[in-house]
Structure 1
Amino acid sequence: MQFHYISFLLTILPLFSLIPTLRSQDISVGSTLRPTNLSLSWPSPNGTFSFQFLNRTEDSSFIAAISYSGGIAIWKAGGADARVDIGGALEFLSNGNLRLINGSGTTIWQSNTTGLGITSAALEDTGNFVLKNGTTTVWSTFENPTDTILQDQNFTMGKVLRSGRYSFNLLKSGNLTLQWGNSIIYWNQGLNSTFNRSLTSPSLTLQSVGILRLYDLSLPGSVPIAYSSDYGEGGDTVRFLRLDSDGNLRAYSSVRGSGVENPRWAAVLDQCQVFGWCGNMGICSYNDTEPLCGCPSLNFEFVDPNNQRMGCRRKQAIADCPGSSTMLEMSHTQFLTYPPELSNEVFFVGITACRLNCLGGGSCVASTSLSDGSGLCFLKVSDFVSGYQSPALPSTSFVKVCAPAQPNQSPPAAGQTLASSKKLRAWVVAVVVLGTILALVFMEFGLWWCCCRNSPKFGTLSAQYALLEYASGAPVQFSYKDLQRATKGFREKLGAGGFGAVYRGVLANRTVVAVKQLEGIEQGEKQFRMEVATISSTHHLNLVRLIGFCSEGRHRLLVYEFMRNGSLDNFLFSDESLGKLDWGSRFNIALGTARGITYLHEECRDCIVHCDIKPENILLDENYNAKVSDFGLAKLVNPKDHRYRTLTSVRGTRGYLAPEWLANLPITSKSDVYSYGMVLLEIVSGRRNFDVSGDTGRKKFSVWAYEEFDRGSITSIVDKRLADEELDVEQLDRVIQVSFWCIQEQPSQRPTMGKVVQMLEGIMTIEKPPAPKAMEGSLSSTSGSANVSALSTFAASAPAPSSSSSLQALGSSSLSGRNIEKTSSSLLG
């Protein structure tokens, strides 16, 4: 028996001695890869990654790249633009240098590691390719990234990702920046201005669970910067962060062997805000699904008609104008202005002066005037101008051209007409065709008038055609008569608020909607339509969607999707709903509401502060999913400055107003956080937070609830209708603590809504909150009515000209945006 055991050991010991050799798979000096043999590669030990040549099908060239299983390039020798022909090669020379050459022998890229004693190379299972002196790593791809960062790869200050003229950097302040041409900073995100700590050596890592985190020795913990949409999803996948050729930084995930890249997060949500995406003088706009590039007018032509992203050029240079130059006007258009441009050529003048100042300036080529009341005018004197056009942009821009200015919608010039003989023939054909079309139209109208005009089945034809716009995501314009028919004369009233009554309606395609009749509108037709376009462009799973509008004379109406289960207050405070809303549903409603508000605060192009968060404005669909309603309406009712409120002008709802409303302090997104905290307490307790009863010892409910929490009796806070239900105590405790953090008296102590979502999800440690102070002069004692007013939302603006809501597209920072608040170490990470 002992003899057989010794024989077995002698048999397997040589196999153990081979393991280091098999795992290292060292590549010896003198090795070469060529595009003539694409199957030849330098693989990692587990086969997940390979160093090989990949074929670029668009131009039949080749790149030498480290690829993930399935052929996804995650590191490229020489960068994204380094390509070779069929005669090229990647050589690991005997002097230790790694070199990429073309078929002509020209060096395209090299590692510059000659004379460093390098004896071998290896591709590790992490995707890191290393050059080694014995066992010591001398050079690696992780330390020399190109356009991609792999999961768990440290990206430190001084390293740069590049793609064309775009670059991505990590600053010493901890901020992440995207730049164009190493000068224009069109995206800047990270630690906010309230974080005063000086970082020593910040580093960035994309975790395998999909969180982009910032690390530094001076931080008490890591700081989450962004979350992938498939956060926490497992499986045989890899994640990577890449600076794409369109100038956007995206996080991707890919299943092993699939070859499919799934985008999970993007730094710039609006692609048209990427500087230079459409090239010089190019104008970025959107069709139904994607951004498009165009030229400002017929005075311009594409530099390359086959690649419209190359930009536009004037058909006639300004210096060669046969006559005078003039300014071409473009509505709802901005020429993007980001740092460092913001510090120069900025004026406070009217639209006319903004046009004339550029026309009279020899170096000015274009200008943008903000139509938001700020009077800001940006003159463009750069050799490179990048434009953005959208119906939601409150701005007018001008471009200097040789007279006459020819807008894109103008007809062809007279010189482009046909010869007179062909012209006559064309007129005859046009008259015949037009006559036939008019006859058919009159016949159709006659049939409709006789047979169908009073039929509900065929009525509201204009609404039917308008629904085609709804399918494309654009706001539908209804006539007042359409909505009268849809609501049967505004018969079935669903409710009423500070903006007017809401009625149930049925559109021509049988879609059930909620029609809100607005009252007290102070805006003109054009401004009303612009605000509606802004609201309708705000889409999220937890926001009520705006379908369309009516703007006809004095009539202003909004058409929303219909929410079958009504508002949350009907389930929390009505005895009729006894037992319908269990704890699991309540938690999902709380989390969904937080996500919806987070989108308004941190993920919209312009931060929207909802000044009336309450159960009445949280609606439930047929599956009890929460959707926040009535956002963006305050600017419709009162377009004046909303930055400050006095006690006499407070518009909100009793019990949900943050202390800063009554203290005449600026209103920010933190005011919504306070209101949400009060709603969270009501979701747990099933009672109004401003109700005073003997159960609470006649104390303010939030004060009494904290006392119960402090003595460990959280179940006494819970709605008595949940008494027979088995509750998730850990989840319940988390929700209650979050509510107390939200209702702190000082706005700086409250977390952002993004942090609230993280705490509710349980991915962030929560420290015990301090006791909330009873608000002196509480609205519950100063107001005699339950509803002071039903103000809902406005686009936030801070007290400085550069913080105009439209300036976010011009490069200024927005409110919050996943900023880190100095509340506690737990809220920092």
Structure 2
Amino acid sequence: MAPLFLLPFLLLQISPYVQAQTNISLGSSLTPQGPNSSWLSPSGEFAFGFLPMEGNSSAYLLAVWFHKISNQTVAWYAKTTGDGPAEPVQVSSGSRLQLTSSGVLMLLDPTGTQVWNPKVIGAAYANMLDTGNFVLDAADGSTKWGTFNNPADTILPTQILTPGMTLRSRIIATDYSDGRFLLNMRNNLVALYPIAVPSGYGYNTYWSKEGSIKNLVFDATGRIYVAMNSTQINMTSVVTSSMADYYHRATLDPDGAFRQYVYPKKASKQSSQAWSVVGMVPDNICQATTTIGSGTCGFNSYCMLDDTNNQTTCMCPAQYSFIDEDRKYKGCKPDFLPQSCDLDEGAAVLKFQLTSMDNVDWPFADYEQQTPVTKNDCQNLCLTDCFCSVAVFHDSDKTCWKKKMPLSNGMMGDFVQRTVFIKVPKDNSSHSELPDSSKWKKDKKCGRVDFLVEGDDEAILNLKNVERFVEVALWCLQEDPTIRPTMLKVTQMLDGAAPIPTPPDPASFVSTH
């Protein structure tokens, strides 16, 4: 009989929600809240079940994740399997995942409606393996369904992608909706290419391997390679981080790069406990270009790769800002009114200027090329052209490219031997900012009319005439037809032959129309 002081430890070992399970029997179930929210692998390194969504504590993602690390990185997540675009399977706290007595795994929402099912029947049991693969097994031990055969955006050591399998990036790191990039395994081809959201239309590839390709393999040593009939081609650099000391994963990230990561299992002075990139395809995702689509970053932005962590940053040019700071893939917008084609060349030079940046380019947005020209010629050609938003100059061959909106495939780096000139308003230009609605209302209330003709030099010089036109217009817009002037009276007031009385306050008209 065990000593009494050992009894608490023995009880802990047999606790059903602390002990990692091997075979998950029929009739077992999980709920998002409480002790039975996940099933652990024997080592406790992986979990399958309900993971609270970041930023939304009332929603839960059905997923597999690294259980022993602080940020519980997701390795797989369930997606809907309907006719429309695939969506991540997210449910609320009253939901239930159950492995029925007939061997069917199903997820029910709080109303009892089935929201997800891997479409496999007759499983004898389930298992969360130490590889990170959650499986439904037959009675003979064969696998009927597994997460390794239905990947999301990540693969793990011992996982193999066969023809017909894909990885789809997330839209952003915290939103598991289908993103803008795809890794596709086909017969004799493995390729990375951008995807149109939401239709899923594939653009041209930005990385590929062709030939007698059989599989894409992430082997037990941490090596990722493309298996061909007679050879193997490394997809990422050979990794020296051991499986015993590091967790490994490879993910198609939201920026389109396929990165291999390692994470130390134990903290040390030499390494912090965080995911580190040990290989990526392509080597610099910022250089990946497509003839259709925005590229790695959104339209009118540019991509910069940080060599210290192999992560990308998307930037906006001067006097541009992100449409959505949280979703930078939506691109950048100008914070000013564009140049009007009604301006002559002299007025354009007075109102706009060019700011320069080195080592930046936006390929494929050209609409005109001039060569040979000087740098000054290039600037003037863009400044006096109302269609030109950016000019790119290549000094070695004296070539100038004029570019129009939207700009795509933006990139920055030493590999870009270009100077760009970005057209923006001069600081003293009335076009320097978009009109502010609150300012417009205030000016109207105070009786100002000069704001109506900002940027029109001729109208500003004849402001008295503008005031006369506005006053006559206010008389013509009166709701009471009996006080509206006749056409003869209107003509006389416009010509200055008749005085213009102060018009009544048109507030009632404005408020009802």
TM over 0.5: yes
Letter matched to residue 301 of structure 2: G
Residues of 2 paired with 1:117 and 1:75: CA distance? 23
- 1:301 maps to 321
Deviation at 1:51, TM superposition (A): 0.6
1:248 aligns with 2:257: yes
Residues of 2 paired with 1:123 and 1:367: CA distance? 56
Letter matched to residue 62 of structure 1: Y
Deviation at 1:215, TM superposition (A): 0.9
Residues of 1 paired with 2:399 and 2:156: CA distance? 46
1:282 aligns with 2:301: yes
Deviation at 1:204, TM superposition (A): 1.2
Deviation at 1:252, TM superposition (A): 1.6
SS in 2 for 1:227: coil
- 1:179 maps to 194
1:159 aligns with 2:165: yes
Deviation at 1:267, TM superposition (A): 2.2
The alpha-carbon distance between structure 1 residues 175 and 168, as it changes in their structure 2 partners (threshold 3 A), is closer
TM-score (norm 1): 0.38
- 1:138 maps to 144
1:64 aligns with 2:62: yes
Q: Which segments of 5 or more consecutive residues in structure 2 lack a partner in the other structure?
A: 1-19, 80-85, 170-178, 268-272, 289-293, 434-513
Letter matched to residue 218 of structure 2: L
Show CA shifts across 1:610-658 (max 9, x none).
Answer: xxxxxxxxxxxxxxxxxxxxxxxxxxxxxxxxxxxxxxxxxxxxxxxxx
Deviation at 1:50, TM superposition (A): 1.9
8 Å Cα contact 1:129/1:140 also seen in 2:
yes
- 1:26 maps to 24
More strand by share: 2
Residues of 2 paired with 1:286 and 1:371: CA distance? 24
State which of 233, 241, 254 in structure 1 corresponds to 2:242.
Answer: 233
8 Å Cα contact 2:378/2:400 also seen in 1:
no
Q: Root-mean-square deviation (CA), in Å?
A: 4.6
Deviation at 1:368, TM superposition (A): 4.7
- 1:53 maps to 50
The alpha-carbon distance between structure 1 residues 128 and 406, as it changes in their structure 2 partners (threshold 3 A), is same
Residues of 2 paired with 1:305 and 1:87: CA distance? 33
Show CA shifts across 1:768-822 (max 9, x none).
Answer: xxxxxxxxxxxxxxxxxxxxxxxxxxxxxxxxxxxxxxxxxxxxxxxxxxxxxxx
Deviation at 1:151, TM superposition (A): 0.8
Show CA shifts across 1:700-749 (max 9, x none).
Answer: xxxxxxxxxxxxxxxxxxxxxxxxxxxxxxxxxxxxxxxxxxxxxxxxxx
State the identity %. 24
Letter matched to residue 248 of structure 1: A
Deviation at 1:123, TM superposition (A): 2.4
SS in 2 for 1:202: strand
8 Å Cα contact 2:245/2:266 also seen in 1:
no
SS in 2 for 1:142: helix
8 Å Cα contact 1:281/1:311 also seen in 2:
yes
- 1:313 maps to 333
Residues of 2 paired with 1:415 and 1:335: CA distance? 24
Deviation at 1:81, TM superposition (A): 5.2
More helix by share: 1
State which of 253, 278, 281 in structure 2 corresponds to 1:267.
Answer: 281
1:186-585 equivalences in 2 (<5 Å):
187-188=206-207, 190=209, 198-199=211-212, 201-216=213-228, 218-219=229-230, 221-228=231-238, 230-231=239-240, 233-256=242-265, 260-270=274-284, 272-273=286-287, 276-285=295-304, 292-298=313-319, 300-305=320-325, 308=328, 310-315=330-335, 330-332=356-358, 334-337=360-363, 349=371, 368=392, 370-373=394-397, 375=399, 377=401, 385-390=408-413, 393-397=416-420, 405-406=424-425
SS in 2 for 1:151: coil
Deviation at 1:345, TM superposition (A): 7.0
Residues of 2 paired with 1:117 and 1:415: CA distance? 68
Aligned residues: 369
SS in 2 for 1:161: strand
- 2:4 maps to none
- 1:776 maps to none
The alpha-carbon distance between structure 1 residues 23 and 102, as it changes in their structure 2 partners (threshold 3 A), is closer
The alpha-carbon distance between structure 1 residues 384 and 336, as it changes in their structure 2 partners (threshold 3 A), is closer
State which of 127, 130, 135 in structure 2 corresponds to 1:125.
Answer: 130
Deviation at 1:277, TM superposition (A): 4.4
8 Å Cα contact 1:32/1:92 also seen in 2:
yes
- 1:40 maps to 37
Q: Which segments of 5 or more consecutive residues in structure 1 lack a partner in the other structure?
A: 1-21, 192-197, 417-829
Higher RCO structure, 1 or 2 (CA under 8 Å, sep 6+): 1
- 1:570 maps to none
Show CA shifts across 1:28-86 (max 9, x none).
Answer: 2x543222126532233444422122233434343221123413321111289554444
TM-score (norm 2): 0.57
Letter matched to residue 212 of structure 1: I
The alpha-carbon distance between structure 1 residues 348 and 411, as it changes in their structure 2 partners (threshold 3 A), is closer
Letter matched to residue 331 of structure 1: M
8 Å Cα contact 2:183/2:190 also seen in 1:
no
Residues of 1 paired with 2:159 and 2:207: CA distance? 21
- 1:148 maps to 154
Residues of 1 paired with 2:389 and 2:76: CA distance? 40
Residues of 1 paired with 2:118 and 2:384: CA distance? 51
1:632-647 equivalences in 2 (<5 Å):
none
Deviation at 1:128, TM superposition (A): 1.9
Letter matched to residue 152 of structure 1: T
8 Å Cα contact 2:370/2:399 also seen in 1:
yes
Show CA shifts across 1:659-712 (max 9, x none).
Answer: xxxxxxxxxxxxxxxxxxxxxxxxxxxxxxxxxxxxxxxxxxxxxxxxxxxxxx
Show CA shifts across 1:532-586 (max 9, x none).
Answer: xxxxxxxxxxxxxxxxxxxxxxxxxxxxxxxxxxxxxxxxxxxxxxxxxxxxxxx
Residues of 1 paired with 2:232 and 2:397: CA distance? 41
The alpha-carbon distance between structure 1 residues 305 and 148, as it changes in their structure 2 partners (threshold 3 A), is closer
SS in 2 for 1:297: coil
Residues of 1 paired with 2:152 and 2:135: CA distance? 15
8 Å Cα contact 2:425/2:431 also seen in 1:
no
Residues of 2 paired with 1:109 and 1:369: CA distance? 54
- 2:76 maps to 75
Letter matched to residue 214 of structure 1: V
Residues of 2 paired with 1:380 and 1:321: CA distance? 14
Letter matched to residue 128 of structure 1: N
Residues of 2 paired with 1:313 and 1:133: CA distance? 55
Moved more, 245-254 or 89-98: 89-98
SS in 1 for 2:151: coil
Residues of 1 paired with 2:105 and 2:339: CA distance? 50
Deviation at 1:251, TM superposition (A): 0.9
Show CA shifts across 1:396-440 (max 9, x none).
Answer: 4466x7xxx238xx6896989xxxxxxxxxxxxxxxxxxxxxxxx
